[in-house]
Chain A
């Protein structure tokens, strides 16, 4: 029986990589394969679904294929480098350390280590799976012998995005008729939240003096988050910038539903799931063309070549003011989502991993 076991540094609930890992395990088991998850750490809720990675040697069987969910540094990488089993990388990108330098040196060191681990693992892998061509290109540059682009498994069922009416009412009451710009993503320098604040400031100056900016995501780089909010306060925007974190899926859906325009000015994105969430919510998108954003977005949004606040503000105004454009973008987003349907993605994973299994049997 084919066995593809996944390794992931941390298995967390309501986390993109964690959800993807578990969904992939279920997909592999559904076609009759063996598939377990090995971790360095797991959240209490998911302890029963994970095994500590150093226990794998006791359970290893001939013919096993190991698949590493790679997005951060971990001792798991060193462990896998010492194994003989065929290795498949599922690469979700690592933010370059330059984004953290000057903000958090320990994070810069950590991501630098992660990039070193990617460089060591890429030539060792039989296949690199990447959720974007942008990520695949990085793997190829690092010597990965073969790559395949398969989107991340995202639960985009309508039910998953059901809106919390209480949260929605609370948000609407707070801002009234003001235009609401939304960005969802961890507060980290590569996401360029300061550019969103700048854009809001210009937008209020030129188009809507009551406009608000809603930021949803954990403050994973505290010094940067403090700077962003202090910057907003200095510009007189303390009351216009609202931060949400630790939201339930239905609360998050309410923030999307409440927004007029989803604005992404990230400078480095390996895929950008929030773009898909905005499409699902029917929120028109304005985004900076950086990293994998263009290929994830397709033509379902206004793609900017620069993040200059005047340009961002003008684009937001255009999308907000032009109903036909807005409706067209929302429609394009709904169609674009079809390309990331979980069924098709599951089939692609099984197909690609079947190829790896067949190839390894021939070699054996």
Chain B
């Protein structure tokens, strides 16, 4: 365990406080406190990783807790069990009992109540029959609606794509790939935390940290993260959607998206964009790396192409989706393997026609294999 700074914390504001006077202990005192708390926090993170690795915290447990809570919310009625449970309450309430209790503390009271019940029975029967008829009609309507919803759910489930083989899931490119310098340049000067999604072995995280960026990584694969954990890099074993769900609003200064974002289901992609737009601070930077659709279609393994729930988008599509959520695209850079055919020499016969054909092939089939979009959250 780290040792607390020997000097007591000084009065006065902390590094970025908006109130109060200057700490009498000076900046080194503040730095000591921050360093100590950082060390404590690192040990807390290590404890969480240890618990996860030991199986004390099964994967998905925390997500299950979140989903369970949703079942108790007014917006959580989509749960089938919850629907049926609520419906049974409606059914139970649809019965109206006309046998009014006649018990009383006083003997005469009970007599009067019985007399009233008998005297008014014909009237109550007439009214209650209509109420019950209405209630059962409403209940019947709810049953039809719930049946219909369950049919729809079954139909949606039928279209669910099977999981990809684990080996087919793309891992993030490491920090030495063509786009790492561009990502580091885009994030230079960001002072708030930066998360790298699908970080793999966290090489990119390390290169960002070396450049002075307060970066950490997330990746759903424990195996992929092992080298990073061995090196003591700040990484967490979880999917980017799960992670962003629990990050505070506007807490991040930068987000790097790569890897599985290329083939998210449409609803997952929408959710990801919503989370990115809310977790990233205004003026925060989004770096998005993806395969080009054409290159992906030409080079991805057949199993991936057939079973992937989604497919890579064009950079223009990302720009459109991001623009509608308050982002401004600052740059789009293409790169990756250059598979384009070389043009033939102009002196060769029919060179003009051949080169025109080569240009068309390059444009349609063999363009840049990857691209990087850099965007800023403006509102």
Contact = CB atoms under 8 A, between A and B. Distances in A.
B44 A206 contact: no
Contact of A299 (B9, B11, B282): B9
Contact of A310 (B51, B72, B73): B51
A90 to B, nearest CB: 14
B248 A315 contact: no
Interface string A200-243: 01100110000000000000000110111011001100000000
Given A102-B74, A295-B19, A234 B9 contact: no
- Which of A231, A288, A340 has most B Cβ within 10 Å? A231
B213 to A, nearest CB: 15
B34 interface: yes
Interface residues of A, number: 63
A268 B249 contact: yes
Contact of A340 (B4, B16, B19, B193): B19
B8 interface: yes
A291 B41 CA distance: 20
A167 B21 CA distance: 37
Interface stretch (B62-70, B122-130, B292-300): B62-70
Contacts of B17: 133, 295, 298, 339
B359 interface: no
B33 A332 contact: yes
A331 B9 CA distance: 7
B60 interface: no
Contact of B73 (A103, A318, A322): A103
Looking at A202, A291, A331, A339, the one whose CB has the most chain B CB atoms below 10 A away is A339
B182 interface: no
A289 B251 contact: yes
Interface in B1-23: 1, 3-4, 8-14, 16-21
Contacts of B74: 102-103, 223, 227
Given A151-B19, A318-B44, A339-B13, A305 B69 contact: no
A135 to B, nearest CB: 9
Contacts of B247: 305-306
B45 interface: yes
Interface string B236-268: 000000010011110100000000000000000
Contact of A198 (B40, B65, B72): B65
A222 B68 CA distance: 19
Interface string A123-155: 000000000110010000100000001110000
A313 B238 CA distance: 18
B44 A302 contact: yes
A290 B251 CA distance: 7
B72 A335 contact: no
Contact of A102 (B34, B56, B57, B73): B73
Interface of A: 102-103, 132-133, 136, 141, 149-151, 194-195, 197-198, 201-202, 205-206, 223-224, 226-228, 230-231, 234-235, 267-268, 288-291, 294-295, 298-300, 302-311, 314-315, 317-318, 322, 324-325, 328, 331-332, 335-336, 338-340, 344
Interface of B: 1, 3-4, 8-14, 16-21, 30, 33-34, 36-37, 40-41, 43-45, 47-48, 51-52, 56-57, 62, 65-66, 68-69, 72-75, 193, 243, 246-249, 251, 282
